């Protein structure tokens, strides 16, 4: 029997072909979990070329990959920063599966407009970055934790932050603020929910080859970035997703309140 057989997971921000959300959803399904796949309902006009070429259908395609593994899937369009949407997400999960055991907070605001000097950063963009990563983590974690406590069987909450939650950098003020906040929120939630048997952890990836960083391109700038990673390559969505899934297993039940680097040695000191 797969270790997570019969468990139910919610994975936010899981609609991209090359994305940690998709990688996490598939890794959880391979361990036997049914998966609620959420995304923002992107217009196909905004899809990157590889998604268009593959006939990708956002969260429905991720759901199809979950089903192909042999598990059930429920795709939902959700704005994680909206209380009504989050309540709907949890209600629909309970209606479809009768329970929830795992939450993966992966949703993030698209990078690009936020990667400017702090002096040039639009306050609205700053707020949107925090709305998705910080308020989204708060609303989703709160809603799911209430269900986990009522069920009385414990559970797992894993948040995908970043190495940017460990070390600040120029031109990334909003993202640093959001990711540092997620690290602190993980510790706070772990203190509160640990006695209820709910593991709370955070994953801090380094440079991962996903569509999120397509604005960098894959030319000289990308190569310089990769050359500065001790293992000399970027990570993959499946590698990070596999680690997220591991944190949802019994084998990881003594790992609690941690914000764990997964970055090929890119950041070691924190």
Joined tokens for residue 20: 């940690």
Answer whether 158's CB lies under 8 Å from 248's CB. yes
Helix %, strand %, coil % of the chain (to 5): 45, 15, 40
Residue 50 CA to residue 178 CA, distance in Å, equals 29
Q: Whole-angstrom Cα distance, residue 76 to residue 62?
A: 11
- Residue 175 appears among annotated catalytic residues: yes
**Cα(232)–Cα(214) distance, rounded to whole angstroms?**
19
In contact, 112 and 74? CB cutoff 8 Å: no
Determine which helix (DSSP H) or strand (DSSP E) holds 124, and give its type and residue range.
helix 123-130
How far, in Å, CA of 46 to CA of 212, rounded? Answer: 13
Catalytic annotation, pick one of 109, 175, 180, 243 = 175
CA 180 to CA 161: how far, in whole Å? 8
Long-range contacts formed by 147-150: CB under 8 A, 24+ apart: 147/90, 147/94, 147/99, 147/100, 148/100, 148/101, 148/193, 148/196, 148/198, 149/193, 149/196, 149/198
d(Cα 47, Cα 18) in Å, to the nearest integer?
11
Cα separation, 20 vs 223, whole angstroms: 21
Give catalytic residue positions. 175
């Amino acid at each position: 029997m797969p270790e997570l057989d019969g468990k139910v997971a919610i994975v936010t921000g899981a609609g991209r072909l090359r994305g940690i959300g998709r990688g996490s959803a598939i890794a959880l399904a391979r361990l036997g979990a049914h998966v609620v796949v959420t995304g923002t309902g992107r217009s196909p006009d905004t899809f990157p070329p590889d998604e268009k070429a593959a006939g990708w259908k956002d969260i429905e395609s991720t759901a199809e990959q979950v089903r192909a593994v042999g598990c059930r899937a429920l795709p939902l369009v959700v704005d994680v920063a909206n209380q009504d949407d989050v309540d709907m997400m949890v209600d629909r999960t309970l209606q479809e599966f009768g329970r929830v055991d795992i939450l993966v907070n992966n949703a993030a605001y698209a990078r690009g407009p936020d990667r400017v000097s702090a002096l040039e950063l639009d306050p609205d963009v700053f707020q949107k970055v925090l709305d998705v990563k910080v308020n989204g983590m708060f609303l989703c974690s709160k809603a799911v934790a209430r269900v986990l406590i009522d069920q009385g069987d414990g559970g797992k909450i894993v948040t995908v932050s970043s190495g940017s939650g460990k070390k600040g950098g120029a031109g990334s003020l909003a993202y640093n603020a959001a990711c540092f906040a997620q690290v602190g929120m993980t510790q706070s939630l772990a203190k509160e929910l640990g006695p209820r048997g709910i593991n709370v952890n955070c994953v801090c990836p380094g440079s991962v080859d996903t569509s999120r960083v397509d604005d960098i391109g894959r030319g000289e700038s990308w190569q310089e970035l990769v050359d500065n990673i001790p293992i000399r390559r970027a990570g993959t969505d499946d590698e990070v997703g596999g680690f997220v899934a591991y944190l949802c297993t019994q084998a990881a039940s003594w790992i609690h309140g941690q914000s764990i680097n997964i970055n090929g040695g890119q950041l070691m000191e924190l």
